């Protein structure tokens, strides 16, 4: 399934993602890592640690509706895989991202920007295994 | 104020995710599918996000403390260990199977698509699985 090459909206979205990461550092002094924020909600140690993460997640969930109000269209989202693949992939994502202490936002955006050695190792690692996985699924197993 | 700030931060980040194409698994798969229907758009997302965050963090860190906390809490570990590399490698495999990562899926929940909720439940199961195998868990808040 082909998707359109969208360099300008993707760059624009990237700038906003970066702005979000900077705002969180300015306001709360924290790294914007979705894995950390999610697991901080699931395994909250106290109300204060839970509350700001819950507020952030609420803002994130409101975003597609906000985009709809501004542009008149929901963001495009097509899921070309089966529910079983979503469940299997999701469990692997949760396990791996918490073991590796981060995902695309924490290691990718924030870690690379901090020039963190761990993130500079983590990001090419997960990009490579994702690319190999997609190659195997699409071109070897032909799904 | 702190919670409103966190909510707005989440909204900005989520809007960026929505505009960028990151929350569209079809686009994520095509970003990695260099041998097939390649769509390099998402490189612009990471590029834009890192440029803003790289500059913005350095401006923010000129302050003594964030607006709503008494100190910046940035990971200090530099250990390149098996957990980091293995966890990141595993995360990439899951990302390549499902097409969602946590930072994209949380805002995507706002589109109301059931696949996203299914993915996030699976990610949470993955967090618990990681807790079960690791007695020395320190990674939950790291990123």
pLDDT at B139: 45
As for how many domains chain A has, the answer is 1
pLDDT at B140: 45
pLDDT at B141: 45
Residue A54, domain member (yes or no):
yes
Residue of B20, B37, B121 with shortest CB distance to A1: B37
Closest CA to A41 of B10, B65, B77: B10
Residue A117, domain member (yes or no):
yes
Q: Is residue A30's pLDDT more than 80?
A: yes
Residue A13, domain member (yes or no):
yes
Q: Is residue A108's pLDDT more than 80?
A: yes
Residue A33, domain member (yes or no):
yes
Percent of chain A with pLDDT over 90: 93
Residue A35, domain member (yes or no):
yes
Contact B117, A81 (CB under 8 A): no
> Measured between CB atoms, does B122 come within 8 Å of chain A?
yes
**Which residues on chain A are in Cβ contact (under 8 Å) with B6?**
24, 27-28, 52-53, 55-56, 59
- In B7-16, which positions are buried (b, 16+ CB within 10 angstroms) versus exposed (e)? bbbbbbbbbb
**Which residues on chain B are in Cβ contact (under 8 Å) with A122?**
84-85, 88
Where exactly are the structural domains of chain B? 2-133
* Residue A5 region by backbone torsions, left for phi larger than 0, else alpha for psi between -120 and 50, else beta: beta
Q: Domain containing A95: what range?
A: 7-140
Residue A99, domain member (yes or no):
yes
Residue A1, domain member (yes or no):
no
CB contact under 8 A, A59 and B13: yes
Q: Is residue B31's pLDDT more than 90?
A: yes
Predicted confidence (pLDDT) per residue in B57-75, tens digit? 999 999 999 999 999 999 9
CB contact under 8 A, B98 and A24: no
The residue-averaged pLDDT of B17-28 equals 97
Q: What is the mean pLDDT of chain A?
A: 96
Q: What is the mean pLDDT of chain B?
A: 94
- Shortest distance between the Cα of B62 and any Cα of chain A, in A, equals 10
Q: Is residue A2's pLDDT more than 50?
A: yes
pLDDT at A70: 94
Predicted confidence (pLDDT) per residue in A118-129, tens digit? 999 999 999 999
């Amino acid at each position: 399934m082909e998707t359109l090459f969208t360099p300008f909206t993707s760059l624009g979205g990237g700038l906003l993602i970066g702005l979000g990461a900077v705002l969180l550092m300015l306001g709360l002094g924290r790294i914007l890592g979705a894995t950390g924020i999610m697991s901080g909600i699931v395994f909250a140690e106290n109300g204060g640690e839970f509350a700001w993460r819950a507020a952030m997640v609420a803002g994130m969930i409101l975003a597609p509706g906000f985009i709809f109000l501004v542009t008149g269209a929901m963001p495009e989202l097509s899921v070309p895989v089966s529910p079983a693949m979503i469940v299997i992939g999701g469990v692997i994502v949760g396990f791996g991202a918490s073991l590796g202490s981060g995902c695309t936002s924490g290691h990718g955006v924030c870690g690379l920007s901090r020039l963190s050695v761990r993130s500079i190792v983590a990001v090419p690692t997960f990009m490579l295994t994702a690319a190999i996985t997609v190659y195997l699924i699409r071109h070897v197993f032909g799904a | 104020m702190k919670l409103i700030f966190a909510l707005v931060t989440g909204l900005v980040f989520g809007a960026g995710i929505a505009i960028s194409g990151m929350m569209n698994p079809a686009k994520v798969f095509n970003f990695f599918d260099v041998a097939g229907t390649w769509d390099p758009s998402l490189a612009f997302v990471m590029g834009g996000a890192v440029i803003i965050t790289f500059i913005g963090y350095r401006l923010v860190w000129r302050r003594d403390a964030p607006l709503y906390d008494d100190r910046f809490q940035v990971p200090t570990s530099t250990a390149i260990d098996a957990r980091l590399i293995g966890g990141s490698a595993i995360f990439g495999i899951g990302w390549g199977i499902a097409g969602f990562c946590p930072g994209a899926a949380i805002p995507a929940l706002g589109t109301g698509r059931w696949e996203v909720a299914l993915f996030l439940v699976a990610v949470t199961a993955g967090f618990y699985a990681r807790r079960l195998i690791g007695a020395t868990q320190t990674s939950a808040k790291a990123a």
